[in-house]
Structure 1
Amino acid sequence: MNEQVYSPQSLVDEIDARRRTITVFVPPDETDATTDLEDHFATRNVTVETRTIPVGREGFVVVRSEGLPQRTVPLGAVRALLSGNAGSEWRTLPTDVDTPSAVVGLDELCFRSFDRRQMLFTCREIEERAYRIGHGTLHVGFQREGAFEAQREVYEALLTRGVTVDAYMGSLGSEAVGRLEHPNLSYHVDPVPELSNYWFLAYDGGGEPYQKCALVAEERARGRYYGVWTYDPSLVAGLVAYLKATY
């Protein structure tokens, strides 16, 4: 059976087509959690529901999406993932630290947002995951070379850690920009719309399917993005397959 392949645009379309229902199970004294999640998930095609559980029990979230299995995730994990409080010092973490519990068990879960800050946080979470695993390939679309060079420190750390990086962009920067060079870094430059108009990251999981994750953000107006991201291994694999075959 052939694997489904997704371009950046078709991945956005696929995630847009999936209707999600998120049910938050919380004790009466933690109802603020529902408000927090509604703020993050209250986008079109997403329904947020609340169910009360006895005081003292740990809250959890049940995610249902058309055509996909039901997923249950601890409330604490989801809140940590969406808090935007991930430290910028992840590059200094010990190499034996486990993958954050906030992202474990979120495979097959998809999100979307117009919030650029949330998308930047998700990019950092994907980069952090690749750093913690320490191998595999991270495919990154920066639109312009200057945007990639602005992240030099982050990507030097990833490359030093052992991660292979494929960088995609629709245009080169100034000749004065000193290009980062490394044996595990490849540049793919092509002046086509999907490399000029899309910002994306896709991590192949380093051979571990449940570690796969991806984000695609479309620039719909100057500096204004609509983004989708997913932990569904099949969607991530489809995007990676497209990028490898096309560029």
Structure 2
Amino acid sequence: MRLDARFEQLAAGGVTNKRLAVIRRDGSTPLDSMLRRLFADQSVAVTVDSPELDGVDDDVAVLVEDEEIVATSPLSSLERAILMVNSDLYTTGALDLDDAALPTVLTGLADVPFRLRGYPLAHKEKLLPIAMSRQIELRAHRAGAGELHASFQRLSRIDDETGTRRAYERLGDDDVDVHVYGEPDWNPEAHLELTAHTGYGHGYSDSWFVVFDPPADAVGPHTTPVGLLALEEEPNVWRGVWTFRPGAVADLAETVRRQL
């Protein structure tokens, strides 16, 4: 199965009835506006000060599915993850791999298909999948085993982006079997402990995936499988989804192994 067919399968199994509710004692803040802009063209609604959510503390964000709360995070953690950062902090290395943990209300948006534009078409739309990608790399690092598959369109991005290079240097020090994919404009195998898969066109030039496939017998809080897949449907415009469903992650990892 090709990656585009795998994406359609993942997106078809997605959940679109989730919303973020911001509960606060004060009035609107820049975080509220940022969240609305971030999800303006997505299938996730953002509400502020929802009185129907009885029993929820002030100054928290909650993820609601079918009108049931499935995750709760302090607003302070959401501000650190969204308002106070941009994608440059991940690529330049200002945020270390250990700083990549995301609030559960954001990781809980798994199985929700998204569409986003990169800079200069938009300033922050790519922030969440970039942060989720680093979250997956952090999970692999903390697990210290299993396979990690990641695509970069051009392999030179690993070297050009200081934060990315540092992350993969640390992963290379673990027992994680790391595989990277992209156009062969740089040789990462000469510098890092990983396996490079190179090519052009579908899967190499137009895909964005990060997949952590843990060992079958893995146990512990950091051994849950997770995968993100996004495809470039037109220049600098992506559609994607991430999932924690073990079967879906295993299928995505197998598609990457077989196709690329």
TM surpasses 0.5: yes
1:225 and 2:237 equivalent? yes
Gaps of 5+ in 1: none
Q: Deviations over 1:183-222 (max 9, x none)?
A: 9522223445122211221122563576433332322334
Quick check: 2:189–2:195 contact (8 Å CA) kept in 1?
Answer: no
Deviation at 1:6, TM superposition (A): 8.1
1:195 and 2:195 equivalent? no
Q: Secondary structure at the match of 1:29?
A: coil
In 2, the alpha carbon distance for the partners of 1:127 and 1:39 equals: 27
Structure 1 residues 245 and 157, CA gap change in structure 2 (3 angstroms): same
In 2, the alpha carbon distance for the partners of 1:218 and 1:60 equals: 29
In 1, the alpha carbon distance for the partners of 2:242 and 2:255 equals: 16
Quick check: 1:27–1:55 contact (8 Å CA) kept in 2?
Answer: no
| 1:45 alignment counterpart | 43
| 1:10 alignment counterpart | 6
Q: Of residues 17, 21, 24 in structure 1, which corresponds to 2:18?
A: 21
Q: Which residue identity is paired with 1:165?
A: V
| 1:204 alignment counterpart | 213
Deviation at 1:155, TM superposition (A): 1.6
Q: Deviations over 1:65-114 (max 9, x none)?
A: 7xxx9622324354444346366355585xxx9x8362489356236241
| 1:238 alignment counterpart | 251
Q: Deviations over 1:23-64 (max 9, x none)?
A: 415134154354332222222433333413689635231232
Quick check: 1:198–1:217 contact (8 Å CA) kept in 2?
Answer: yes
| 1:131 alignment counterpart | 141
| 2:103 alignment counterpart | 102
Deviation at 1:8, TM superposition (A): 4.8
Quick check: 1:73–1:106 contact (8 Å CA) kept in 2?
Answer: no
1:172 and 2:196 equivalent? no
Count of aligned pairs: 231
Deviation at 1:140, TM superposition (A): 0.7
Q: Secondary structure at the match of 1:100?
A: coil
TM-score (norm 2): 0.67
In 2, the alpha carbon distance for the partners of 1:111 and 1:79 equals: 23
**C-alpha RMSD of the superposition:** 3.8
Quick check: 1:130–1:138 contact (8 Å CA) kept in 2?
Answer: yes
Structure 1 residues 44 and 152, CA gap change in structure 2 (3 angstroms): closer
In 2, the alpha carbon distance for the partners of 1:79 and 1:10 equals: 33
Q: Of residues 137, 140, 155 in structure 1, which corresponds to 2:168?
A: 155
1:112 and 2:122 equivalent? no
